[in-house]
Structure 1
Amino acid sequence: MLTDYWVISLLLSQFCSLVLLTGAVLLSNQIIKRWSPGCFDELQLQLERRSYLVGSIVHFVLIFQIASLFMFLNVANHHLTEVIKGAMCADGALGVNTFGKNLLYLKMGAVLVYVVYLFLNYLDNSEPAYPLTPLKYWLIYPIFVLVALDLVVMVLFFYNIEPDVIATCCSVKFVVTGAQGYFSLFASGFTTGWLVLFGVSGGVLVLLLFFSSRLHWLKLIIGSIFITSAIFSLKYFFVKYIYGLPSHNCLYDIFWAKHYFVGYLFFGGYYILAASLICLVLLQLFKARLGNLHPKLMQKLRWVSFWTTLILIFLPLAFWWHWDGTL
């Protein structure tokens, strides 16, 4: 599989990202050690110029890394399914060996770390005194490790794919239907628990975001519970109404064109909500170092979180409500 053109593109782009980050790590070492905002000598001027260069490199690399998550998912969901026998979607393609889904989870988790750096970099560049330098550059080290690990696991995944081996695609789970042909809401205690948690956490989060301008740590905790329960509720209940199939719990097919790419809307919303809640916490942590920027920005992030939460609550409910019972 290492000779496949899509695989080569992914590996080459990831390798280039790692090379750029290696240079950024080397350049940031001196910034971390010698940065002195109270000095105005030649060394400090050089460090400020170097800081701008490092920040720009890391910024564009991380933007690409976030985009590469969706690129990788698209390759797994559309291209690899044509190459690997038996794989009907990304579930079968990624499940062909032990590295596939671990790589996807690694990419998904790393995005949140990238968001932290990008937001801190934005805040730092918005202030003339660069109050978050060199603090933000400490994040480059774990980011470098994540990108390097991403490349290693990606190589292992593609190298260990055997096209002649028939993959096992996503399993199905049959649920007893109701008298009128609708799926039972209380199909199992497991599903019911996630649905209840989805509704309760979503309602609490909406109220907190609307009425409180503080309690950002609590919002982040409730938001994490809401996002987790929303994903499980989508997988084990709402996704059936998108497909019109009571036995199909796969989350990968919702990224297909025949389902209007609604998966990108769902998971894009989850990431927007998580990122905005994380940014609210970061603003709260570093507000003493920031100027007049943070109150207005905090207000914008609150409303972004509020409306995103509402959309993520009502969007799956809309599929459930408008399903006409046909398969």
Structure 2
Amino acid sequence: MILDPGILALLVSSLLISLMSLYASGWSIRILRRWDLASGSELQLALERRTYLISTIVSYFLAFQLVSLFLFIQTADSISHLFVGAMCAVGTLTVSSFGYPTLLLKIVTFILAGLWLILNHADNQGYDYPLIKAKYLLLLIMAPFILAETVVQGAYFLGLRPDIITSCCGSLFSQNSHKITSEILAAPSAPMEIVFYSSMFITFAAGARLFVQGKGGYFFASMSGIAFLTSIVSVISFISLYFYEMPSHHCPFCILQKEYGYAGYPLYILMLSGTVTGLGVGLLQQFSKEKSLAETIPALQRKLAAVSLTAFFLFTVIVTCQILFSNFKLEGY
């Protein structure tokens, strides 16, 4: 099983990214302690040369870190047939106690990696490395999560055994599962639909205000985070039902399969894209007074807001079209 191409790619890439994170963390500490652009010392010149190289390499590694989240989910889904009782990625992730922690860590590192790439792009627009310490501090914060993901993911894949009987998504995402998902499913769907569309409407309004007036960056970032959480809960609560056209099938992973047109991939890509770019607006807000970025950051914030709004809008359109044109009607459930 360890020879599966997807598993090998994930293990090798995670190891390489972790090694790069450790190396970059060492330089991050030096930069945070010794960086002084006004100094013409040999150390400062070495730091300036090194930071460009490290930032470039880290950018490529973190770009793959974004992709690895979906590769992990796809791999978990593709090997589900090897386990008795598994029907999708849920069964594969349930085989080991490290399955869902790995997924959670990958989501966290996805968001952090996306934010770092945004911060790095903004820093490259300034002539005086205005965000150099901020981006290396974020890299230092991100490193433990990347290392933890590598260890937990390794423990997960190395611990997989095909003779293990696992649970299907029907048992996990049911009202009798005695997990947090049962609390979500027990709640009426109508209030959740109201919460979902309300959060999206407020997010659109906050984004429009930022895009037009250049105000409310922190509020828009907060609403992007809230929209992300409500979207996840909504997928489990009612959105998935319209794809399956079944009142009791709430699995958020089966919609990634061919039978449902791989609809989950665009949904989750749009959801995460809207979230990361929306949070990026708030991240850049605190640096808006940097002289070398006085004009760059507002323009970049508007671009990020436009991407975030577009992503959330398309997500909402796909969901709404599925609700309107599906043969399934949720009334009464």
TM, length-normalised to structure 1: 0.89
Equivalent position amino acid for 1:205 in 2: T
Gapped runs of 5+ residues in structure 1?
176-186
Distance 1:255 1:34, change over 3 A: same
| Other structure's SS at 2:132 match | coil
| Other structure's SS at 1:127 match | coil
Identity %: 28
303-312 vs 137-146, greater mean Cα deviation: 303-312
Work out the CA distance in 2 between the residues paired with 1:174 and 1:60: 40
Q: After superposition, where does 1:161-310 map in structure 2 within 5 Å?
A: 161-171=160-170, 189-212=187-210, 213-289=214-290, 290-310=293-313
134-143 vs 150-159, greater mean Cα deviation: 134-143
1:178 corresponding residue in structure 2: none
2:8 corresponding residue in structure 1: 8
1:32 corresponding residue in structure 2: 32
Distance 1:140 1:225, change over 3 A: closer
Q: After superposition, where does 1:79-94 map in structure 2 within 5 Å?
A: 80-94=79-93
Work out the CA distance in 2 between the residues paired with 1:286 and 1:56: 22
1:312 aligns with 2:315: yes
Task: Kindly indicate whether the alpha-carbon contact (under 8 Å) linking 1:92 and 1:168 is maintained by their aligned counterparts in 2.
Answer: yes
Map Cα deviations across residues 98-147 of structure 1 (whole Å, 9 max, x no partner).
Answer: 11011101111221111221111111111111111123212222222111
Equivalent position amino acid for 2:273 in 1: I
Work out the CA distance in 2 between the residues paired with 1:52 and 1:155: 31
Q: Which 4+ stretches in 1 moved above 6 angstroms?
A: none
| Other structure's SS at 1:286 match | coil
Work out the CA distance in 1 between the residues paired with 2:84 and 2:20: 36
Q: RMSD between aligned alpha carbons?
A: 2.2
Work out the CA distance in 1 between the residues paired with 2:66 and 2:267: 16
Map Cα deviations across residues 74-116 of structure 1 (whole Å, 9 max, x no partner).
Answer: 10011x2132222110000001121101110111122111122
CA shift, 1:246, in A, is: 2.3
Q: After superposition, where does 1:90-129 map in structure 2 within 5 Å?
A: 90-129=89-128
Task: Kindly indicate whether the alpha-carbon contact (under 8 Å) linking 2:209 and 2:216 is maintained by their aligned counterparts in 1.
Answer: no
CA shift, 1:287, in A, is: 0.8
Task: Kindly indicate whether the alpha-carbon contact (under 8 Å) linking 1:21 and 1:144 is maintained by their aligned counterparts in 2.
Answer: yes
Gapped runs of 5+ residues in structure 2?
176-184
Work out the CA distance in 2 between the residues paired with 1:5 and 1:301: 35
CA shift, 1:308, in A, is: 2.4
Work out the CA distance in 2 between the residues paired with 1:276 and 1:61: 19
Aligned residues: 314
2:49 corresponding residue in structure 1: 49
Distance 1:286 1:68, change over 3 A: same
Task: Kindly indicate whether the alpha-carbon contact (under 8 Å) linking 2:220 and 2:281 is maintained by their aligned counterparts in 1.
Answer: no
TM, length-normalised to structure 2: 0.87
| Other structure's SS at 2:289 match | helix
Task: Kindly indicate whether the alpha-carbon contact (under 8 Å) linking 1:234 and 1:316 is maintained by their aligned counterparts in 2.
Answer: no
